[in-house]
A and B are shown apart, each in its own frame.
Chain A
Amino acid sequence: MNDTGNENVLEVDGVVMAFGGLMALFKPNFKVKKGIIKAIVGPNGAGKTTLFNVITGFFHPTAGTVRFKGQPISGLKAHEIAHRGISRTFQTVELFGNMSVLENIMLGCHTRVRTSFVAAGFCLPGARRKEAQIQERAMKILKFIGLSEKCNDPAGSLPLGEQKILEIGRALASEPELVCLDEPAAGLNETETYVASSLIRAINAKGITVLLVEHNMKVVMNISDEIVVLNYGQKIAEGPPEEIRNNPKVIEAYLGGGV
């Protein structure tokens, strides 16, 4: 565990997300310390992905606030939050299938360069140099995630395991401080899962804080420093993996009462 930096990157404070009468989230308060890997787990429908969507600006919470590095970000639009330094992947892979592997990563660099329609049209000086720089950076990331040989393949043609890896790579391209991974191991086989977990560790080793939602308990227990357990939109437990493993409330939520 990494307890040295006590600064909180993310604070979820009193967030309520209601869809009509359905309370998808009800004040699952927690904090994410800088530089750790924190996992959010819970049964299906617990509100994990909804929480991700609130953090990354896809949903605006009914009440409560999300703070990123002390600044409230709930209410900002998704692209504004991306510019602040939070990046994400999606549960169902959302790659740009019509673009090449390299272009997917290059688009990930979008927040790092000013992209103007008009300046691009007139091909103002520096535009071409900027493109070359982005390409170079994207190639570095592809090397880091091990996909540099496939840089010209259409992203949609990759097997699922590599698509998941590519999506993580795209999320890294914006040089985020916090990356939110929504089920990075879903649908992957043993080997692919191993590759994905090592990649998440490598990302964390670079000093990037990781928040992940994952159903694969082996992955969660192996790589996370802290775990938050949600059930019916509420936090039922929080702590290091070994503590969560033995928490009776968690066992009940997963296996039903009477166990």
Chain B
Amino acid sequence: MLKIGKLPIVILAVFIIIFPWIARLIPAIANYTDIMVFAGIYCLITIGLSLLMGYAGQISVGHAAFYGIGAYVSAILTARFGLNPWGCMFVGILVSAGIALLVGAPSLKLRGHYLAMATLAFGIIIYIVFNQETQWTGGPDGMAGIPGLSIFGFDLDSVEKYFYLVWGFVLAAFIFSVNVVQSGAGRALRAIHSSESAASAMGVNVSKFKVMVFVYSAVLASLAGSLYAHYMNFVNPATFDLFFSIKLLIMLALGGMYTLWGAVIGAGIFTFLSYEWLHYFKEFEVFVYGAILLVVVIFLPQGLAGVPGMIKGWLGRPKSNE
């Protein structure tokens, strides 16, 4: 596992601060700030998934559901009941955490890939609920009229302001996760990944840690969903289908799930691929995703985040032979 120092985090923060200014200066990438908002939203989810899958080794193929729960709780409570958006975001997080506990606790007590199966089924169920509960969710047509966000009367009414909000959350989640990973808790998660028997023999409460990290990843996905709803002012079920859960896995594989940087890089690059660079392929886009996944899994098992290490390995090897 790569140690994550303070300096790269500072560089990330500086990059976030200056990005909209750069985008504004260059007309060709003027719309990149908007894309970066989505990249940030996906980043929140992949950071949680990196902890769950890369570190603890538990597979979820249902995080689109938590993303959707966050979005719909925010949408319904604000658009239909006119409640405070921040409060609704918090309610969404609580609901997601509660559901994650219900889904995760029984399946995580078992060894093996039961969580993958449980989350797969769960994701499909939630997708059906979004489609069928028309009086609440608006059904397949979706629901509009979701208000934007404001902080203490200061409206986040421009793309740039929203960019800073989203990436502020990303930075916070990233730092929180780095702290977890570099503590005894992170060590326990990696130990669980490697050998559950040995971890429990050393006193690690395996099922508790697995449930904790699953709930944490659901909370981040829910937060991302709320941010999405308030940015788009509109939600419909298609955003939260099974394919989105798969896309999240592609992002993780692309960036590399064994480090938190991989989660950020993967979500960033994938967002630009799907929003900007792959339009040329139109309906064949799915094939391109498949090809990317294949190439990454075969040639870059550690994802893009593992590339520097690989290069170091190549450069180091001949020297050691001399």
Contact = CB atoms under 8 A, between A and B. Distances in A.
B102 interface: no
Contact of A107 (B179, B191, B206): B191
**How large, as a class, is the contact surface on chain B?**
20 to 34
Interface string B187-204: 110110111011111111
A79 B206 contact: yes
Given A120-B180, A127-B183, A107 B200 contact: no
A159 interface: no
Given A87-B202, A131-B183, A107 B188 contact: yes
A193 to B, nearest CB: 23
Nearest to A120: B183
B38 interface: no
Contacts of A120: 179-180, 183-186
Given A79-B205, A82-B203, A95 B176 contact: no
Contacts of A121: 176-177, 179-180
A220 interface: no
B185 A115 contact: yes
A163 to B, nearest CB: 12
Nearest to B215: A117
Nearest to B179: A123
B267 interface: no
B190 A110 contact: no
Given A108-B202, A117-B209, A122-B176, A94 B187 contact: no
B176 A107 contact: no
Interface string A92-124: 001111110001001110110101110011110
Contact of A103 (B187, B205, B206): B187
A117 B179 contact: no
Contacts of B204: 79, 107, 110
Given A79-B206, A95-B195, A117-B212, A107 B187 contact: yes
Interface in A158-183: 170-171, 173-174
Contact of A82 (B176, B182, B202, B216): B202
A232 interface: no
Q: How large is the interface on A (under 10, 10 to 19, 20 to 34, 35 or more residues)?
A: 35 or more
B213 interface: yes
A235 interface: no
B194 A99 contact: yes
Nearest to B213: A117
Given A90-B197, A94-B197, A121-B179, A115 B184 contact: yes
B37 to A, nearest CB: 25
A83 interface: yes
Nearest to A109: B184
A96 B198 contact: yes
A88 B191 CA distance: 16
Given A122-B179, A123-B179, A131 B184 contact: yes
A59 B198 CA distance: 14
B194 A115 contact: no
A134 interface: yes
A209 interface: no
A174 B180 contact: no
A77 interface: yes
Interface of B: 1, 176-177, 179-180, 182-188, 190-191, 193-195, 197-206, 209, 212-213, 216
Given A98-B190, A107-B187, 16 more contacts: A77-B205, A79-B203, A79-B205, A79-B206, A82-B202, A90-B198, A96-B199, A97-B194, A98-B193, A106-B187, A107-B188, A111-B202, A117-B213, A131-B182, A131-B183, A134-B184
6 contacts: A82-B203, A87-B202, A107-B191, A117-B180, A120-B183, A120-B184
Interface of A: 56-58, 77-79, 82-83, 87-88, 90, 94-99, 103, 106-108, 110-111, 113, 115-117, 120-123, 127, 130-131, 134, 170-171, 173-174
**Which 9 pairs, one residue from A and one from B, show the smallest C-beta to C-beta distance?**
A82-B203, A120-B183, A111-B203, A94-B198, A115-B184, A96-B194, A78-B200, A121-B176, A120-B185
